[in-house]
Amino acid sequence: MKGYLPYLLTTTATAWKREVSTYFATPLAYIFLAIFLLSVGLFTWDISGFFEAGTADLNAFFGWHPWLYIFFMPALAMRLWSDEKLLGTIELLNSLPVSLSGLVAGKLLAAWTVAGAGLVMTLPWWIIVNYLGDTDNGVIAVSYLMSWMMAGAFLGIGSTVSALTSSSAIAFVLSVAASFLITAAGWPILSVNIDSVFGPTLSEIVSQFSFMTHFSPAQRGVVELRNIIFFVSFIGLSIFATRLLIEYRRRVPK
């Protein structure tokens, strides 16, 4: 175990560096960041009527995150493994003396880094709301942290789905569908309908699987350990599932 941990960390770091450089060596990262900033800006300042509301907070900004991530995170993760299979480089990666878990974790961390860069670029908006009035900075700080955690969970879905196919387009569509289902599970409208038909117990169980359920407390400035554990566990599970899928596809004859 002592020898495996440095081996795992080295592989993770190497895969992370390789994937981050790939993102920024192509237009993908720049296009993602530009469209992400444009979209969250549009929904925050225009569609949500920020200035008409007359409040100095970023509730409108964070309120859109679960729904925007349904599309943006799959777009960021769709090529993580599908391109490796399409180009035939996955066979090379499988033949190298590296940790497969480290490869999966490193590639996911790279996508998570790009997503984090997008959030960092919105920090000037935090300055703006402080200038406009008395702002609860604790709520905003917690919301940023949990939004980034939630982004990692969405990317986990994208990574796992990407390991299923050699088509980035198919990976994107399937990831969007899966992301929508797991987000909508905590949608109040759906919860009310499930409650009325099947009872509150099932409604509560379904909602606990939703990213929205575990992100919402952060918008009130509440940091709950169980929500952090949920997102960390989901990301870890997605890494495990991605590795299993890659190993399975490697062993099954084409």
On whether the CB atoms of residues 228 and 149 are closer than 8 A, the answer is yes
Please report, in tens digits, the pLDDT of each residue of the chain (254 residues total). 555 677 778 888 988 998 999 899 988 899 999 999 999 999 988 887 776 766 778 888 999 999 999 999 999 999 888 866 655 556 556 555 567 888 899 999 999 999 999 999 999 999 988 988 888 899 999 999 999 999 999 999 999 999 888 889 999 999 999 999 898 887 776 666 666 666 677 677 778 888 988 999 998 888 889 999 999 999 999 999 999 988 876 665 45
How much is the pTM?
0.89
CA-closest candidate to residue 35, choices 67, 75, 77:
75
Radius of gyration of the chain, Cα coordinates, nearest whole angstrom: 19
Q: Which of these, 30, 31, 54, 34, lies nearest to 42 by C-alpha position?
A: 34
Question: Which position has the token pair 């390789």?
Answer: 18
Q: Which two tokens stand for residue 142?
A: 């917690």
Nearest to 108 by CA among 163, 40, 182: 163
Whole-number Å distance between alpha carbons of 102 and 12: 4
